[in-house]
Structure 1
Amino acid sequence: MSKINYHFIGIGGVGMSALAQILASRGKNVSGSDLVENQITKNLQKQGVRVYLGHSEKNISKDIERAVITAAITDKNPEVKGAKKLGIPIITRGELLGELMSEKVGIAITGTHGKTTTSSLISHIFEDARLDPTIVVGGEVRNIGSHAKDGKGKYFIAETCEYKRFFKDIHPDIAVITNIEEDHLDYYKDLEDIKSAFADFTGNVKDGGTLIACFDDENVREVADSFSGRVVSYGIANGGLNYRASDFMIEEGRQRFNVYKNGSDLGVFEIQIPGIHSILNATSCVAAALECGIKIGTIRDSIASFTGAGRRMEEKGEKGGITVIDDYAHHPTEIQATLRAIKSFYPKRKVWCVFQPHQHSRTRMLLNNFVDALTEADEVIIPTIYPVRDTKEDIASVSGEDLSKLLAKKNKASHYIPEFKDVARYLKENAKENDIIVTMGAGPVNEVGEMYLNIE
């Protein structure tokens, strides 16, 4: 049996599968395991990756050179135990990403919100500029049809996450921070702890590197102030910015805006994705692309043709004059921004929001914030909370029904419907022509939209 260069424990996730895909495309022997089969694992098998269903010590052999784990994998995992018994080196996904990025000019995008869309748009621009970048993104870049690509060019574009300080092993040439807010409070103590992690990340930027920072966000400004290297600022609200977006207009399903670089007008840009936050994300991409010498005309055309990232305000279809949109938003700020953006594009249409809370602990800690954010929808349906890293105490502490009842107290039409199939049936019976249904959350709530579109 030939050597297995890398074995991924938890290969079915977006982040792990991206690295597995890149290594397999480079001719490495790759294997991995996950609890369930999904489209990602099926695609990896087509690339020649050996995928085991379920975690078992039997999946680990002495032929494996390195085992790769995610933040969700603990020492109790049987494959981790097996690797340790055989003396197989165990590395994290972040360490592997850092190693791969170190071979090229690294562009790392992070932030509490917007990092997937921003990473996708930067990737799209660099593709259009024919720079053939390597890409690792947390969602499908629709224009390339994948969340990963092993490019032959000199740039490595990667979305990086703050959870458990994942990005501590990344050493980019260019770092982009979109925003910083309270999240992952099952790990971080408070906002100060989160800002400290981001500050440590900026300290990893290579000598002579650049930090592209959203100065509309006071927490990002504070982190940028502690950065010893070159800072490129962008935003909307603040004066003295290196890149400022202004003169917004919504027209024919597109947003138009101007970007000013150090006060000089770079001209009009347009983007197909709604929301002020989308304009902010696009402005950071203009900055990153210009920093790397891409022509402004290419940037402008690329932003205009960008159709978004998978599960980010993604239009899934239409049935009986009712449009179904899916979005990954799972934090109150994201929910509010997404709902406002959709209503700005469709001001005369009723918006249904099917929101599946992601993680009991997050729901409990930000419960009132979720209530405030969801009031942006016209009518809300809450299924069962999707549990992630939750203890028995977390699960007992809050339910989807609790959230729905609090919304009702705010005089918001809200329904707790635990099962997806029942949600789809309710929508079939109650949604009307010209309504919009938005499925929202980091769990599999997108299945509701698919069920609705296929229901007889």
Structure 2
Amino acid sequence: MKFLETYQNFYFVGIGGIGMSALARYFHASGKKVSGYDKTNTKLTQILMDEGIDIVFEDIIDEKVTSLQKENTLVIYTPAIKKLGLLDYFTENQFKVLKRAKVLGLITENTDCIAIAGTHGKTTTSTLVAHLCKEADLPFSCFLGGISENFKSNFLYNGAKYAVVEADEYDRSFLNLSPDWAVITSTDADHLDIYGDRNTIEEGFRQFAALVPDDQKLFVRKGIEIGRPHLTYAVNEKADYYSDHLRMENDHIYFDFHTPTETVPNFIWEIPGIHNVENATVALAILHRLGVDFEILKKAIASFKGIKRRYTKHSYKNGKIYIDDYAHHPTEINAVMSSIRTFYPEKKLLVIFQPHLFSRTKDFADGFAESLSQADELMLLDIYPARELQENYHGITSDWLSEKVTLDEKEVSSLQDAFGKIKEKEFDIILTIGAGNIDTLYDPICEWMNSL
């Protein structure tokens, strides 16, 4: 941490990423001069600029860049950035250049780091742990992979004893952390462009688990083999910590929570899906082991509003519903679809999906087709490339994926044309899903639905 304090300027290459923006907010709040680059102006980059952070959207070496001095400037980049003139400039001029995960590790190394890992569920779980810490008034900071609906940010500082972080498996970034506490929610195959196959990604999670020094501070969803002693958690089956007796009343979920020594009945929360009760279970387990009273935890769970773009739901006077979710993997899409079908089995569901990455679309095409075929009608947007180039994935298109979907009512559309087409559709529920820039449809859809 003392190493970081020697720098006054922090330049972020890829500042618009959710993890990068949390670090940018941290240094900005610490009184440092923060600036950066991203290729796209989004809602998040606009918010950062409104907060006083200077951002450019062209890969150019301008006067603002050349005026930076290597002695007092740290350059932080995301591994999602592959080739960029800015990075070449900083490297060639001998600036200190570090990956985001390395910097996060340096920030948290002198805290009790609570690291939440998993191919699915880590954002909800880490945000909930942070919310519970805040409601219990623990001295903590958090660096999240989503925007909390409760404190409207992906970064919060309430002290330095604990640090709640989302441990990202992409590029093996989570191996840069020094977790004192850790959660592993899932180890499903993903990021095969990095890991190659399922066995390799599972080995990555085993390496992450090995970083936790205390067996009693490592929580793993029951059924995952992690190769070392740990505590288990589950829903509707016995584990070290588990929840059961789930029931729905007035759009709220009630459940009972079991520790190794006691049962605490009637927790209430409003985030749908059994998978989210699973996330709540491990968050409660951690706070229980931190010594927080169950009455505080009950109130805190009940007040949790979730994360932006994680089953964000709006109901309208005409009976129609709009749900927006970040789901970009077949397992995540299945979870969202399952929740919708459980609550609204008879309603016509229109799904708008933007695939994220050519590689992920190729690797999980059959899974995507199966999960998307649960819709009543599908609009498939063009693939969002992020860090990838189309020419490296010949033939991998949304038209190609659409052919695998077993629906009669389906079409492929550009993002630009999507909103106009949506307004011509008949539906009871509209669901937008994806991790790219599909979020630009959110405000127009909300405004239109409010006007109906």
TM-score, normalised by the number of residues in structure 2: 0.92
Q: Is the deviation greater in 314-323 or in 17-26?
A: 314-323
1:303 alignment partner, one of 294, 301, 304: 301
Residue 39 (structure 2) pairs with residue 32 (structure 1): no
Q: What is the deviation of 1:390?
A: 2.6
What residue is the counterpart of 2:74 in the other structure? 66
Residues 427, 268 of structure 1: CA spacing in aligned structure 2 closer, same or farther, 3 A cutoff? same
What residue is the counterpart of 2:48 in the other structure? 44
| 5+ long unaligned stretches in structure 2 | 1-5
1:272 alignment partner, one of 270, 273, 290: 270
Residue 129 (structure 2) pairs with residue 129 (structure 1): no
Q: What is the deviation of 1:42?
A: 3.1
Residue 447 (structure 2) pairs with residue 447 (structure 1): no
Superposition pairs for residues 94-173 of structure 1, below 5 Å? 94-173=101-180
Q: What is the deviation of 1:146?
A: 0.6
Tell me how large the CA RMSD over aligned residues is: 2.1
Letter of the aligned partner of 1:134 in structure 2?
S
Partners of 1:449 and 1:6 in 2: CA distance:
32
Matched residue SS, 1:113: coil
Residues 402, 85 of structure 1: CA spacing in aligned structure 2 closer, same or farther, 3 A cutoff? closer
Letter of the aligned partner of 2:335 in structure 1?
A
Letter of the aligned partner of 2:60 in structure 1?
S
Letter of the aligned partner of 1:443 in structure 2?
G
Partners of 1:46 and 1:213 in 2: CA distance:
39
Q: What is the deviation of 1:207?
A: 5.2
Q: What is the deviation of 1:203?
A: 1.7
Residues 210, 398 of structure 1: CA spacing in aligned structure 2 closer, same or farther, 3 A cutoff? same
Contact conserved, 2:215 with 2:231, CA < 8 A, in 1? Answer: no
Structure 1 runs of 4+ off > 6 angstroms? none
Letter of the aligned partner of 1:71 in structure 2?
P
Residue 234 (structure 2) pairs with residue 235 (structure 1): yes
What residue is the counterpart of 2:388 in the other structure? 390
Q: What is the deviation of 1:174?
A: 0.5
Matched residue SS, 2:424: helix
Matched residue SS, 1:125: helix
What residue is the counterpart of 1:419 in the other structure? 414
Superposition pairs for residues 365-444 of structure 1, below 5 Å? 365-407=363-405, 410=406, 412-432=407-427, 435-444=428-437
| 5+ long unaligned stretches in structure 1 | none
Partners of 1:259 and 1:376 in 2: CA distance:
32
Matched residue SS, 1:233: strand
Residue 84 (structure 2) pairs with residue 77 (structure 1): yes
Contact conserved, 1:69 with 1:93, CA < 8 A, in 2? Answer: yes
Partners of 1:171 and 1:93 in 2: CA distance:
14
Partners of 1:291 and 1:413 in 2: CA distance:
51
Q: How many residues align?
A: 440
Partners of 2:233 and 2:7 in 1: CA distance:
48
Residues 113, 414 of structure 1: CA spacing in aligned structure 2 closer, same or farther, 3 A cutoff? farther
Residues 248, 195 of structure 1: CA spacing in aligned structure 2 closer, same or farther, 3 A cutoff? same
Letter of the aligned partner of 1:23 in structure 2?
F
Matched residue SS, 1:417: strand
Partners of 1:319 and 1:185 in 2: CA distance:
44
1:205 alignment partner, one of 207, 212, 217: 212
What residue is the counterpart of 1:281 in the other structure? 279
TM-score, normalised by the number of residues in structure 1: 0.91
